[in-house]
Amino acid sequence: MLAEIFFFGIVIYVVYKIIFNFIVPVSHAGKQMRQQFRNMNEHTQQQGDRFQQETTQQHHAEQKSKSVVGDYIEFEEIKK
């Protein structure tokens, strides 16, 4: 009877140690990794949005600078 109680006490202690020294820290690390991944994705998306806005602004500036004045049309000569 005393041996059974001692055995179950040891089993409960080992299970407790496994849960709180291995499983809980691994789950916390997984949560932190997911959060960092989300932050990295958001940062990358923001950079892409900024790049797209800058590219669009540059394109509009080029369009304005290429406006045609009078009857002049810009063309390239093709040599045969």
Residue 70 falls within a domain, yes or no? no
Residue 7 falls within a domain, yes or no? no
Residues in contact with 66: Cβ distance below 8 Å, sequence separation at least 6, in sequence order: 74
Domain of residue 32: give its range.
14-42
Summarize pLDDT for 9-67 with one digit per residue, the tens. Answer: 999 999 999 988 988 998 999 999 999 999 999 999 999 999 898 888 887 777 766 65
Residue 33 falls within a domain, yes or no? yes
Cα separation, 73 vs 80, whole angstroms: 22
Q: Which residue's structure tokens are 């810009």?
A: 74
Output the CA torsion 40→43→48→50 (10° steps).
-170
Cα separation, 40 vs 23, whole angstroms: 26
Residue 36 falls within a domain, yes or no? yes
> Based on the structure, what is the number of domains in the chain?
1
pTM above 0.85, yes or no: no
Which pLDDT belongs to residue 45? Answer: 94
Query: What stretch of H or E contains 50?
Result: helix 24-65
